[in-house]
Amino acid sequence: MVGAVGARLSTISLRGGAPVGFLVGVLVASLIFGAVQLANDPVLFFLTFMRSMGLGSTYALIALGFVLIFKATQTVNFAQGALAATGALFVSFLAVDGNIPFTNLSNPISALGGPGWLRWGLNVIVALAFAAAVGLVIERLAIRPMVGEPLFSVAVITLGLEIIFRVFNNDAVKAEFRQVGVPWLANGFKVGDVLINWSFIAAMITATVVFVAVYFFFRSRLGIAMRAVAFDQEAAMAQGVSVGRVFAVAWAAGAVLAAIGGIFATQPPVAQTLSVDQETANIAFRALPAVILGGLDSVSGALLGGLVVGIAEIYAGQYAAGNISWLGAGYPLIVPYIVMLIGLMVRPYGMFGTPEIQRV
């Protein structure tokens, strides 16, 4: 009996040290690989790095939306991708069509003077407000009545919402892709003979601002309430925390983050069309490995998971798929899932996720 217990404790100890050893090994291998490629072609390496940071930042924004909703409701929001496309459509309606969404009313911002980028920025703010309103409506009508019900049922509801919003989005772009009117278009700046798109820089700056804002939000009164609800809903309610209010804020914030991610899902390196199309909603499923790898309830995990997955996908596409013919052109898209599977085998609850031990 004692021997069996000792063997079990030894196994647990080894498993606890496995993530550190795994991460160190991956880091060392990546640094060696990066040093070799940097020496061979510094310009190409820099381009690949900037593309990976742009893609990773987009994944991180989508992943953060997943995390905020999960922290508040303990539910994975399968409608995140459809909300991303819907938010990007709001930008298209306002900035390109010049109409208020769902109406024939003219958008007054279009009549304002000043630089075009300022009008576009104002339209984005209005579009994010519409996205937040959609999140609030979803929470009030579909999520709050399910408080106390099985989480599986809530997850299925979000899957149904995904289908509903996806049909709406696809009908809007079926005949023609809808431009989002980004002021930087497909332009960029040259480093040597390669072009670095401004969309890479915009995604990185946006992700930085958003994560800094979330960092300070979680230190505000409402943020502390959300953390309390994430830790123990019943205890938070006993202390006078409004769980319904926390749910509403989480869904509104999740929808806003989805919309921001949806805008960048139309840009390089995710897409080249600068438009909302039927593939835009897939950005959530492409970012899902980042969520799982970082940890479903970890904000820092969303950031690191997004960057790790973005780097893996872009570098695999640049240095592996281009040199190994049998991999095929779509090979980079499966790399994030390979990284996720390896990460789950090493650390089942994600790099920064909260361990939950259940007796079977």
pLDDT at 54 over 90: yes
Mean pLDDT, the chain, as a whole number?
85
Instruction: List Cα–Cα distances, 43 to 36, 38, 46, 192, in angstroms.
Output: 13, 8, 5, 7
* Most confident listed range (18-22, 186-190, 226-230): 186-190
Q: What is the pLDDT of residue 4?
A: 47
Q: What is the pLDDT of residue 35?
A: 82
Q: Would you give the end-to-end CA distance of the chain in angstroms? A: 20
pLDDT band at 18 (very low <50, low <70, confident <90, very high): low
**According to the model, what pLDDT value does residue 190 have?**
85
Instruction: Judge whether 76 and 296 are in contact, CB under 8 Å.
Output: yes
Residue 264: name the closest of 99, 118, 65, 43 by CA: 65
Distance CA 192, CA 42 (A): 10
7, pLDDT greater than 60: no
Of 116, 34, 83, residue with least CA distance to 315 = 34
Q: What is the pLDDT averaged over residues 308-332?
A: 77
355 vs 224, residue with greater confidence? 224
- Please, what's the b/e burial string for 308-341 (b: 16 or more CB within 10 A of its CB; e: otherwise)? bbbbbbbbbbbbebeeeeebeeebbeebbbebbe
pLDDT for 5 equals: 41
pTM recorded for the entire structure: 0.88
Q: Taking a C-beta distance cutoff of 8 angstroms, is the pair 59, 313 a contact?
A: no
- pLDDT of 115 > 90? The answer is no
Report d(CA 84, CA 165) in Å as an integer: 10
The average pLDDT across 245-254 equals 92
More confident residue, 138 or 35: 138
User: Which class is 25-346 in CATH?
Assistant: mainly alpha
Contact in structure between 60 and 256 (CB atoms under 8 Å): no
Which token pair is 62?
């989508």
What are the residue ranges spanned by the domains of the chain? 25-346
The whole-angstrom separation of Cα 90 and Cα 132 is: 11
- The answer, yes or no, to whether residue 318 has pLDDT greater than 50, is yes
Residue 334 has pLDDT above 50, yes or no: yes
pLDDT of residue 135 exceeding 90: yes
The whole-number average pLDDT for the span 172-186 is 88
Confidence of residue 15 (pLDDT cuts 50, 70, 90): very low
